[in-house]
Chain A
Amino acid sequence: MNDNDKIIEQALKDAYDKIEPEDSWQDFRERISAKIKNGQTAIESSRQSKLTIFWRKAAIALAACFLVSMGLFIYAIWPKRSTENGRTIAQGKLFDKSQIEALETAFSQVRKLFGNQSGWIIIGSGENTQVGVVDRVTSPASNDKLVAVRLAINLEGEKPSRQYCDVVTFSNEKTNFRLYIDKDRAIEIFMTPTIETDDKIALEISTLIKDNPPQKNIQTIANNAYTSLAEVKMNGIWLKIEGIGQAISKI
C-alpha cells in the first residue's frame, strides 16, 4: 500500500466517522432501546405462543406414542390368545414349567390334607377352585403318573362364552366334578384321563345334564391342540366341551 492509498483510507475513515444521526447518538441509542423493549414483549409473546404449540404437539406425540405402544402390546400378546382360541398351543405344550410346578405343588398340598390317599383331584375353573375326592376307584390308578387336562367349555347362543378348568389327577383315576355354567345351570362331568405309551392322553368323558341323557365319549387328546369331546344342548343352547392334556412329572 502506498502513501496515497493510506491517505485515502484514512480520509475515508475520517469522513465515515463524521456520519451522525440528525439529532444525536444518544437520542438514536434511546430509540434503539425503545424498539428493543417493545420488540421484546412481542418476541416473548411469540415465544409463548411457540411454547404453547410445542406442548400441544408434544401432547399429541405422547398420545400417539401411547397408542402405538398399546398396539404393540396387543400385537405381542395377541398370538398367544388367538392361538389358544384357535385351539392350538403355540409352544407345543399345554403348560409351561412354572405352571406345572404350581399345579404339582397345589396337588401335593391338597393330597396331604387327605392323608395322601390316591385319587385326589384339583379343579380350577376361572377364579374358583374345587377340591374333590374320588368316591370310588374303578381301576387301579397309576400313582406315579400325574396328568393335567384343561377343558374348554364353550357356550353358544346370544351371549357366547368360553371358560376353562384344569384338572390334575393320577393317570387312570376317575374324577367326578360339577361345572357351573351360570348361577342356575351346571353340568356333571365324569372323566378318566390315562397316559398312553406315547405320552398322549386318552380321555374318557361322560357328561350329565339335568333332563338330558348322559353322553359318553373316549378320545385321545393332544398336548398342543384342543380336541372336541362333547356337545350337549342345555335349555336350547349348545354347550361344547373341548380338551387338551399333558402328562406331568410324577409326584
Chain B
Amino acid sequence: MDDTQLVRLCKTGEKEAFSSLIDKYYKNLYRFAFENLQSHHDADEICQETFLRALKDINTIREDGSFKGWIFTIAQNLIRKHFKRNNRQINYDWDGEIMDAEKFKVEQTEPSDDLFTKEKKFIIQKELLSIPEELRNVAVLVIIEDFSQKQASGILNCSEASISRRLQAAKNLLRAKLKGLI
C-alpha cells in the first residue's frame, strides 16, 4: 500500500495505517534528526514528537501531498525550534560562494584498496559532519533521502536556487575532503 492510500486510511481513523507509516519512515527520520542534532537523545525526542504531531495533524495533509516530505518538514521545524531553545542557529538562508576545494586541507589516512571498509565509511561520515550544517542538510535530503531539490526547498523553507547552490557547495567540499581517500 502506498503512502497516499495509508494517509487516506489514517484520515478515516485507521490506527494500523499510521503504524505502517511509522514503520516506513522512523529510521530515516531518526538518521535525519541525528545528522542535524548529533545527539541520540535529542534525535529520539524529536522523532517521537514528529510522529505525534503528524498523527494530530494528519487531516491537514493534502490528498496529493507527499507524506515523506510533510513529515520531514515537521521534523525540520522541530529541529529548528530545538536549536532556537539552545541558542544554536543554522543559516538556512546561506547564500555563500561555492567554496574552493583546494582551500581545504584534508587529513588523509592511507588509502585502502577497499573503499567501503568500515574505517573509510567512518571517515566519510566524519567529513560529512565537518561541513557546515546548512550544506549538510541539503546533502542529506537530496543525496541520501532522494528528495528533489524542490522538495528540499520546501522542507528547509528556502529557494530552490539556494538548494542548488548549497548542494553544489556540499559536493565540492566533500570532493576536496575525500580527495585522497577515493
Contact = CB atoms under 8 A, between A and B. Distances in A.
A13 B145 CA distance: 9
A16 B22 CA distance: 19
Interface residues of B, number: 38
B125 interface: yes
B3 to A, nearest CB: 18
Contact of B124 (A5, A12, A36): A12
B124 A11 contact: yes
B52 A35 contact: yes
A12 B144 contact: yes
Contact of A15 (B18, B22, B48, B122): B122
B144 A16 contact: yes
Contacts of B18: 36
B52 A39 contact: yes
Contacts of B15: 40
Given A8-B178, A15-B124, A36 B139 contact: no
A12 B128 contact: yes
A32 B182 contact: no
A4 B120 contact: no
Nearest to A40: B55
Contact of B35 (A10, A16, A43): A16
By secondary structure, the B interface counts as: helix
A10 B22 CA distance: 25
Interface stretch (A20-28, A105-113, A229-237): A20-28
Contact of B175 (A5, A10, A13, A35): A5
Contact of A14 (B116, B139, B143): B116
Nearest to B40: A22
A29 B124 contact: no
Contacts of B140: 16
B51 A8 contact: no
B5 to A, nearest CB: 20
Interface in B107-155: 115-116, 120-122, 124-125, 128, 139-140, 143-144
A80 interface: no
Contacts of B166: none
Contacts of A40: 15, 55
A14 B121 contact: yes
A35 B31 contact: no
A112 B107 CA distance: 126
A51 to B, nearest CB: 14
Given A5-B171, A29-B26, A39 B56 contact: yes
Q: Which of A13, A32, A33, A35 has the largest count of B CB atoms less than 10 A from its CB?
A: A32
Interface of A: 4-5, 7-19, 21-22, 25, 28-29, 31-33, 35-36, 39-40, 43
Given A9-B144, A32-B26, 10 more contacts: A5-B171, A8-B174, A12-B143, A14-B121, A16-B31, A16-B144, A19-B34, A32-B48, A33-B22, A39-B52
28 contacts: A5-B171, A7-B182, A8-B171, A9-B143, A11-B116, A11-B178, A12-B124, A12-B174, A14-B121, A14-B124, A15-B121, A15-B128, A16-B35, A17-B31, A18-B121, A22-B40, A28-B26, A29-B23, A32-B26, A32-B48, A32-B51, A33-B22, A35-B48, A35-B49, A36-B18, A39-B52, A39-B56, A43-B56
